Chains A and B, each alone.
Chain A
Amino acid sequence: MKVARSETTLTHAVLVVAALIAAFPLASVIVTSLGGNGADGTGVGFGNYAEAWTQGGFASALVSSAIVAITVVLVTAAIACLAGYALAHMRVPGGRLILVLLLVGLVLPYEVTVLPLYQMLAGWGLVDTYGALILPQVGLSVPLGVFWMRSFFASVPGELLEAARIDGASRFRILSSVLMPVAMPAVATLATILFLFTWNEFLLALVLVPQNEAVQTAPLSLSFFSGAQHGAQPDVTAAAAVLVALPIVLAYVLLQRRLITGLTEGAVK
């Protein structure tokens, strides 16, 4: 395919500009976080990080985020595999209705659930505990998880299941010994996406663990921290933002290919 060399160069130039704009805010926050050190306030160093770490309690916040995100991912992946398998390969009574319900759940704004969730969890004495963050987020992750696993299991060749069935394998055994080994890449992509969503969730954390600093997640701590500072110490706030973004950015560097292909192409194949 022939295209003028000038067009190739120009398109790459446009692409570089688009990428620079995409990266600029993170780069700018990193630069800000490293500045303002030393006696005259012009030195470069990690002083702001030390200050943010001790003032903002981010060690505990990062641990909370990890506990919540990992639990939500594990529980959701497990129950989504069970349900996805059944909806793909069994005649589930009311299966169509279940799918329609879950489809609506995919685009639902959390705003419509937060108030009753708060009242319900307060009634159970769970507000300001890990349970208040984990239980609703499993529920809200179910639609994506079930659709994801169902479309994967539906794509597995029927002969594979048929062969196992002829060998006398039970339905659960087919899932655990035949399907799960081939499903691992799909489960891994689902886990990555759910981890990202759960780690970054803000509204639920704001509403459901408002008072207990010990269980507050990293984005919520950052929000309180940056709000309380009122921008008086932008470089310390910036350091806090980098601390909160760091685990996700590192994971992204490792997993970006899986994540992007998963999010954009996944089941289209």
Chain B
Amino acid sequence: MAATLIEQDPRRTAPRRRRPAASRPSWSSLLYVAPALAFFVVFVVVPIIQSVRISFYDWDGISVATPAGWSNYAAVFSDPDLRQALGHSLVLLVFYAALPVLIGLLLAGLMSRIRIHGLTVFRAVLFLPQILSSVVVAVAWRGILADDGPVNDVLRAIGLGGLAHSWLGDFGTALPSIGIIGTWVEYGLCMVLFLAGIATIDRSLYEAARLDGAGAFREFTAVTLPALRPQISIALILTITFALRNFDLIWNTTRGGPGTSTTVPSVFVYQDAFQNRALGQASALAVVLTVLILVVVGIVQLALRERPERAQRKELSS
């Protein structure tokens, strides 16, 4: 997915090849597109349109739906529970997106300066959290953060037994604990993305920076950081999307509890749709969540795309 998104920037794609038969549209080509398009329209586009429609009704899924106007949307922003859930999402953005990108940049910055021995092994291990099912991740971390888990064992061993408690079961620590799990899931991905980006940087740029007397920090800000712009953009898009969706991990660790201390919009979407039978409310929240993700992804892409003058210079020099 990362690669395909990078490829979308028109300035990064190769100049379009001239195609002989390109002058007039070929209607028969639709036959090739039709199967994929049919699956996408029936199982993605139609359900989204349905969600938007349902969001304007009060409906329990059984009796007749009554038109509700914008009230379900108003509730998303006025209902204290839903507002709290949106607030939790913002907190989790720090843990799921900001921290992993910063850690990834720090590690990648260190690694850009030397030749790494065993790079393939490091890469494979750091990527491991990405391939595990979120349910497996949840089971593993529930064990680690449990009353008698390794975290508390270490605290007791070093004389900080007073701090030991059930991390996911405490109102104050449940949300940050889930945040830490998210940081753990994502930092390896960020680092692997940035390493791939660094591998494409011309080594002579580093030589030049050093000849100019740049220190490690200056070298990072002047050479590494600007070159990683596309990878940072992808990393943010992937991590932010993960943070804002985030159903699996929460459902399998805390289910939003204790109390409402770890609720997020996607948990309400599921509960309202399939447990509380408030289908209109669930749909409105899902639509808001979707719009939010699209807007944030759009902002990241705009903010981090290569500046035109930079891209031009690149073209001239190549």
Contact = CB atoms under 8 A, between A and B. Distances in A.
A91 B26 contact: yes
Given A92-B25, A207-B274, A219 B135 contact: yes
18 contacts: A1-B207, A14-B107, A15-B122, A28-B140, A79-B36, A82-B35, A90-B32, A91-B21, A103-B8, A109-B266, A117-B47, A138-B43, A202-B135, A202-B251, A241-B135, A266-B3, A267-B4, A267-B6
Contact of B139 (A89, A199, A226): A226
B133 A135 contact: no
Given A14-B107, A111-B266, A238 B114 contact: no
Interface stretch (A18-26, A38-46, A177-185): A18-26
A163 interface: no
A108 B140 contact: no
A120 B49 CA distance: 13
B286 A112 contact: yes
Contacts of A234: 143, 146
Given A93-B27, A111-B266, A231-B142, A244 B133 contact: yes
Interface of B: 1-8, 12-14, 17-27, 29-30, 32-33, 35-37, 39-40, 42-48, 50-51, 54, 61, 107, 110-111, 113-114, 116-117, 120-129, 131-144, 146, 150, 184, 187-188, 191-193, 196, 200, 203, 206-207, 210, 230, 237, 241, 244-245, 247-248, 251-252, 265-266, 269-270, 273-274, 279, 282-283, 286-287, 289-290, 293-294, 297
A241 B188 CA distance: 21
Contacts of A21: 184
A24 B192 CA distance: 18
Given A234-B143, A260-B124, A111 B289 contact: yes
Which 3 A-B pairs give the minimum distances between C-beta atoms?
Answer: A139-B43, A266-B3, A116-B50
Interface of A: 1, 3, 7-8, 11-12, 14-15, 18-19, 21-26, 28-29, 32, 78-80, 82-83, 85-87, 89-93, 95, 98, 101-120, 135-136, 138-140, 142-148, 151, 154-155, 158, 162, 165, 193, 196, 199-200, 202-203, 206-207, 218-220, 222-223, 226-227, 231, 234, 237-238, 240-241, 244-245, 248-249, 252, 256-257, 259-268
- Among A85, A101, A114, A266, max chain B CB count under 10 A is at A114
A23 B248 CA distance: 20
B206 to A, nearest CB: 7
B-side binding surface: helix, strand, loop or mixed?
helix
Contacts of A231: 142, 146
B33 A83 contact: yes
Contacts of B122: 15, 18-19
Contacts of A265: 3, 196
A231 B196 CA distance: 40
B135 A222 contact: yes
Contacts of B54: 115-116
Contacts of A1: 113, 203, 206-207, 210
- Among B50, B124, B131, B137, max chain A CB count under 10 A is at B131
Given A92-B33, A112-B51, A18 B139 contact: no
A120 B35 contact: no
B214 to A, nearest CB: 13
B241 A109 contact: yes
B49 to A, nearest CB: 8
B114 A92 contact: no
